[in-house]
Amino acid sequence: MFAGSFVALTTPFKSDLSLDLEALDRLVERQIEAGITGLVPCGTTGESPTLSGEEQRAVISRVIAVAAGRVPVIAGTGSYDTRASIELTAWAKEAGADGGLVITPYYNKPDQKGLIRHFEALAEVGLPLMLYNVPGRTGVAIAIETAVKLSAHPHIVSIKEAAGCVDRVSELCNRTDLDVFSGDDSLTLPMMSVGAKGVVSVAANLVPDRVAALCQTALDGDFVAARALHARLFPVFRAMFIETNPQPVKTAQARLGLLEEVFRLPLCAMEDATRAELEEVMCRAGILERS
């Protein structure tokens, strides 16, 4: 159902920490004009844990409105609270989202039977769901057998794999009909080489055209050209995680004048040394002109 380059959108804030919806409009237009396949607001990169329910709805509805059907919108609607996730997923469906990105419940760390019941309850809303497996942030992983069971549900159609394991992707592609997406930019090509359909990308916030080209080239089966694209992008991919995501990507976006360099605590400004390293990578990649 889903394939290609999806951007994990950042959430712009004003200096007073309120939402900057006008900047968000510009980010969405920039992505679509650059050829991105789809938009994912209110994920990890969008600082969703710091957004109120009202703010999440404001961001998601704004992205849907600006996209205006030109590309699909997969709204981040998951949390550690099943009831709240159901309510937000149902709201997103009514608002016109094309899918929901639903993270494994964090902090309360359910076991596998709890995960199954949680995701099946969300799927009953009727919105196509992309499961989000990121055990490094949530403390719990979706077991392969759990993914196999969940894949039988008609509204569970995809999974974002951010566990850093290509073997998992091979097994998921072999044993399920889920559309598998890389959750790590640097593993997009390796994962697509064994059957993944694309990426939910952090780096696309900076270079949407290049990430889109990488995914489309891999989908076309031209892995020689895809390797060349990957090699040029790899330093950028790595630089997005020299500090906690989304600190580097939002710092880079601010350097390009795309948004204000504002984070909500506990995220904060980068250290001087890593900021300099990030800017050097951007200059070498042709993203930023040397001053």
> What global pTM score does this model have?
0.95
What residue segments make up the domains of the chain, in order of their start?
A: 4-222
CA distance 205 to 189: 18
Alpha-carbon 50 to chain mean position: 16
Q: What is the CATH code of the structural domain delimited by 4-222?
A: 3.20.20.70
Residue 249: C-alpha distances to residues 26, 222, 271 (Å): 16, 29, 14
Consecutive H or E run containing 4: strand 4-8
Which amino acids are annotated catalytic?
A: 132, 160
Consecutive H or E run containing 10: none
Mapping DSSP to helix (H, G, I), strand (E, B) and coil, where does residue 178 land? coil
Q: Could you give the residue ranges of the DSSP H alpha helices within 35-165?
A: 53-67, 82-95, 112-123, 135-138, 144-150
* Per-position pLDDT tens, the chain of length 291: 799 999 999 999 999 999 999 999 999 999 999 999 999 999 999 999 999 999 999 999 999 999 999 999 999 999 999 999 999 999 999 999 999 999 999 999 999 999 999 999 999 999 999 999 999 999 999 999 999 999 999 999 999 999 999 999 999 999 999 999 999 999 999 999 999 999 999 999 999 999 999 999 999 999 999 999 999 999 999 999 999 999 999 999 999 999 999 999 999 999 999 999 999 999 999 999 987
